[in-house]
Amino acid sequence: MSEIPAFDADTNTSIVADIPEAAEVFAAAQRLTGIIHRTPLMTSRAINAAAGAEIFFKCEHLQKVGAFKARGAANAVALLPAGTALVATHSSGNHGAALAWAAAERGMKCTVVMPDNAPLAKREAVAAYGAEIIYCAPTLEARESTLADVVARTGAHVVPPFDDRRIIAGQGTVAQEIIGQCREQCFTPDLVVAPVGGGGLLAGVGLAISALAPEVKVLGAEPAGADDAQRSFRSGQRVTEQSPDTMADGLRTTLGLRNFVLIRRTINDVVTVSEADILAAMKLIWRRTKQLVEPSAAVSLAAVLAHPARFKNKRVVLVLTGGNMDLATVGDLMR
């Protein structure tokens, strides 16, 4: 594991005290039993040959709402104060759908602030779960200010998309399942790779792996056009502003503060991939596994294909984060 640099200026004591512990991941796993799916591990001989490694896909695109986000949202909603009637968040899609679903399951109302360039499939999914959608400009500042207006007007309880200990703990159950499934098959992976945007998934995975199987390396993968996590991890200074340019819409968000603290403590590195790498990996998954994953999910395989020396002859678990994309764009991407 990389040496952890000194805390940056915005990593204050109150935030450090508010990050989850591994026990919260394990409690979340118990809490979510029977609520979410235990998603499968999938393999492909053709992809193994192309990668020069033994690849296991953790199929979170087959999760409730089509994304791992169901884990964190369901955990957060389960921990809300009694009597909570309305929740709200901002999201480019998957977290919004997950929160709308989790809230509806418990009879709550939900409002989701979404950027006006969010994929149609994700907008439709949020609406289908009964949430009110409020659109805003596609910037983090616009999302947060619009959400603040919603809270001031309605008194809604905010469930953040990633920078929240309940969310991180819920997402960490992905890794607990991974380790359990690998042990059932009598092996321990060498590496686990997870895409990183806001960092809730990678932080949760790092937290769980560090407690359950510290010998396993954890890597983050992100688009080169949205490389704030790599720059933050390697410099020790959290990047708070960027202008993302990537087809992986779920990874355009800037790394959250709690997530940054945990990622620096528990993972080994963050690697980046080009847009061409993402597209090639996504096409390979579609063709060889017949699984329709979204661009953000393909970033994990793209990392293996783009950096083969790091993964050669290793057993690698890749998290396929989601499968929510506009079907109308599939033909364009294949061309």
* 47 token code pair: 């992809």
pLDDT one-digit tens code per residue, 175-211: 999 999 999 999 999 999 999 999 999 999 999 999 9
Q: Are 221 and 275 part of one and the same domain?
A: yes
Q: Are 26 and 153 part of one and the same domain?
A: no
Spatial neighbors of 289 by CB under 8 A, at least 6 apart, are 42, 44, 47, 57
Domain end (from 158, 183, 206)? 158
Alpha-helical segments (H) within 114-256: 120-128, 140-154, 165-184, 200-212, 228-235
Instruction: Report the chain's C-alpha Rg in angstroms.
Output: 18
**CATH number for 219:** 3.40.50.1100
Domain end (from 129, 158, 187)? 158
pLDDT of residue 141: 87
Spatial neighbors of 269 by CB under 8 A, at least 6 apart, are 2, 219, 220, 233, 234
The pLDDT of 50-79, averaged and rounded, is: 97
75 in any annotated domain? no
pLDDT of residue 135 exceeding 90, the answer is yes
pLDDT of residue 256 exceeding 90, the answer is yes
7 in any annotated domain? no
- The residue whose two tokens read 């990633």 is 162
At 236, which amino acid appears? Answer: G
pLDDT of residue 168: 98
pLDDT band at 5 (very low <50, low <70, confident <90, very high): very low
The pLDDT of 217-243, averaged and rounded, is: 95
pTM comes to 0.92
Q: Are 260 and 299 part of one and the same domain?
A: yes
Q: What is the mean pLDDT of the chain?
A: 93
pLDDT of residue 12: 55
DSSP 317: E
23-50 exposure pattern, b = at least 16 Cβ within 10 A, e = fewer: ebbbbbbebbeeebeebebbebeebeeb
Query: Domain range spanning residue 104?
Result: 81-158
pLDDT of residue 2: 35
Least Cα distance to 171 among 71, 264, 302, 37 occurs for 71
Q: Are 200 and 269 part of one and the same domain?
A: yes
Q: Is 184 exposed, middle or buried (0-12, 13-18, 19+ CB in 10 A)?
A: exposed
pLDDT of residue 173 exceeding 50, the answer is yes
pLDDT one-digit tens code per residue, 87-130: 999 998 899 999 999 999 999 999 999 999 888 888 999 999 99
41 φ/ψ angles, rounded to the nearest 5 degrees: -95, 130
The number of folded domains in the chain is 2
Domain end (from 104, 129, 158)? 158
DSSP 127: H
> Does residue 147 contact residue 158 with C-beta atoms inside 8 Å?
yes
129 φ/ψ angles, rounded to the nearest 5 degrees: -85, 5
